[in-house]
Amino acid sequence: MRDSPFREVELKLRATPQQLSVLRKSPLLTSLSPARPKARRLLSHYYDTPDRALRAAGMVLRVRQDGASCVQTVKVPAAATGHHVADEFEAGIAGPGPELAAIPEDGLRRRLEALIGSRTLDRLFETDIRRTVRLLTTQTGDVIELALDVGEIRAAEASEPVCELEFELKAGRPEALYAAAERFVDAVPLIVDPRTKSDRGYQLAGVRRPQAEKAGTLRLPRRASVGEALGAIVADCARQILANEWAVREGDRVEGVHQMRVGLRRLRAALSIFKPVLGPDGLALLASDARWLASVLGAQRDLDVFEGSLLAPVSAAFPGSDGVRRLSARVRQGGEAARREILAALQTERYAQFVFDLSAGLALPPERSLAPRLDEPARDFAARVLAKRWRKARAHGKRIASLSVEERHIMRIELKKLRYAVEFFGGLFPAAPVRKWGRRLSELQDIFGLLNDVASAEALLARMLAGEDEVDTVALRAENMAAGLVLGWHHARAESAWKTAMERWAALGKAERFWTS
């Protein structure tokens, strides 16, 4: 029994009952753990206030019945490093209900009592799991617990099945956990699932559908090394990508696709930034798979932007237009097809391997030959990166008044790379100038984004309306007229916005280069 905080490092892999059956019969299990497995039933109840104050604070309060004993667990978030990490506080209790007085850590107990106040605690949902446990021991002495969980989550009248493998590091190195898990992924295409049982339980209880998640504010320690910065930045990108998978599948689809794609772009930008450290082959497959997935998501995102930002105001202004109505229907039809492609991609072995590699790559130690470069102060490295990104953007900005549409697109990409670098490394520098740069770059990107949306709309409409052999030529003519109306409407906005972009670029050029001080 643990009465003190424990840093939990685990990896959860989602399986189907058929996959689990294959693994149970596989010699892989007995080769890694010849001892007879232990099986037991775990009935866990999860509690929160009526207004879900614990959930809002990122905390979990669970009471688990394991045979005749009851264990109370409080989970609080800890700094993530790519694998799932949380702080757990456990204590044995007498009965099946929560006992706040049993929480061993005084500060946490007071915080929990303040959050709950005089309100009652609701038993919100429960999990009923049959867990089969094996201990895996590596040749270097690492000890990993492998739990095969089968059961269900129940909330009121709703339920959903649980079928998963959970690897938990008991002693040793995180990379050993991933090396062991990879053998199972090679045998069966299991998928990393960042959701905890409590995440799924809250969703089942109707607290909220899976929500899209934006990138967090990354705060690197001032004295961080390049290696530490690399780990923290890529982990933050991974968190955003994985956090949005279920919004794409079941929740806020439009924003989920957008934020998952942003996470992939940030990941690619990070891998590009650290290429001088990692070498041209470092994480190259990860970058290639990120590009593939972003492309799959891109078709849906283009249609979402067109429908929500470009077509919607025209539809509102011309509610009786048959051409606009037909164009809207065509866009929705295209969106349904794009969504099917996304969901199919999320079921592929390539996606499963990408997510595993993304998680495992963060835990594996870098090549020994890279150590001197990884030990360099991150601030020195960041200053060089920011200077390089600024030079590339400024090379286009010097000719901003005469840039062609294609050159504006290139400048937009360079500004985006600069903004990501500012967001990644901003914590290493004084806060005030970093905030100013972030704000001005964001304003510029909004304008360049509008210009890109209009340019993308031209290509999108050309693809949708090209080669149509409809018998109803009147309807097709109406759609073409509606397309021209949409483009004309937004071209006028784009030209006005471009003048503002030139003014904001000039203001950015006068801002203090915070990385030079």
- With beta carbons less than 8 A apart as the criterion, state whether 345 and 261 touch: no
pLDDT per position as a tens digit, 229-265: 998 898 889 989 998 999 999 888 899 999 999 999 9
Mean pLDDT computed over 100-109: 92
Strand-strand pairing, 158-171 and 5-14: antiparallel
Q: Supply the pLDDT for residue 365.
A: 54
The span from the CA of 456 to the CA of 411, in Å, is 16
Quote the pLDDT of residue 500.
92
Spatial separation of the C-alpha atoms in residues 59 and 63, rounded to whole Å: 14
Tens digits of residue pLDDT in 368-390: 445 578 889 999 999 999 999 99
Find the range with the poorest average confidence among 116-125, 198-207, 393-402: 198-207
Domains in the chain, CATH or no CATH each? 5-208 (2.40.320.10), 253-516 (1.40.20.10)
pLDDT bucket at 5, cuts 50 / 70 / 90: very low
Compute the distance between CA of residue 489 and CA of residue 481 in angstroms, rounded to an integer: 12
**In this structure, what token pair is assigned to residue 170?**
């008991």
Residue 424: is it exposed, middle or buried by C-beta count within 10 angstroms (0-12/13-18/19+)? buried
Residue 7 has pLDDT above 70, yes or no: no
CA–CA dist 150, 129 (Å, integer): 6
Residue with tokens 């201990």: 135
Q: Which residues pair with 162 in a beta bridge?
A: 151
Q: Which of 155, 267, 242 is nearest to 201 (CA)?
A: 155
Long-range CB contacts for residues 283-291, cutoff 8 Å, separation at least 24:
283/361, 285/357, 286/354, 286/357, 286/358, 286/361, 289/350, 289/353, 289/354, 289/357, 290/264, 290/354, 291/264
Q: Average pLDDT in the 38-42 region?
A: 92
Compute the average pLDDT of residues 396-400: 93
Does residue 82 carry a pLDDT above 60? no
**Type of residue numbered 129:** I
User: Is the Cβ–Cβ distance between 491 and 454 less than 8 Å?
Assistant: yes
Asked if pLDDT for residue 155 goes beyond 70, the answer is yes
Q: Who contacts 17 (Cβ-Cβ below 8 Å, separation ≥6)?
A: 150, 163
> At residue 292, does pLDDT exceed 60?
yes
Query: pLDDT at position 363, please?
Result: 58
d(C-alpha 453, C-alpha 312), whole Å:
14
| Of the ranges 69-83, 184-198, 413-427, the best mean pLDDT one | 413-427
Quote the DSSP letter at residue 424: H
Write the secondary structure of 46-86 as one string of H (helix), E (strand) and C (coil).
EEECCCCHHHHCCCEEEEEEECCEEEEEEEEECCCCCCEEE
Mean pLDDT of the chain: 88
In order of 299, 403, 495, the CA distances from 396 in angstroms are 28, 8, 18
**Helix (H), strand (E) counts: the chain:** 19, 9
Q: How many other β-carbons are positioned within 10 Å of the β-carbon of residue 9? A: 21
In this predicted structure, the answer to whether residue 138 has a pLDDT above a threshold of 90 is: no
What do you get for the CA distance between the two ends of the chain, in Å? 52
Asked if residue 311 lies in contact with residue 327, where contact means CB atoms within 8 angstroms, the answer is: yes
Dist CA 499 CA 479 (whole Å):
31
- Indicate the residue type of 200: R
Q: Is 194 helix (H, G, I), strand (E, B) or coil?
A: coil
Please list the helix, strand and coil fractions of the chain in percent, rounded to the nearest 5, in that order: 60, 20, 25
Is-contact 422 503, C-beta < 8 A?
no
Cα atoms found within 13 Å of the Cα of residue 405, Cβ hemisphere only: 11
Mean pLDDT of the 9-38 span: 87
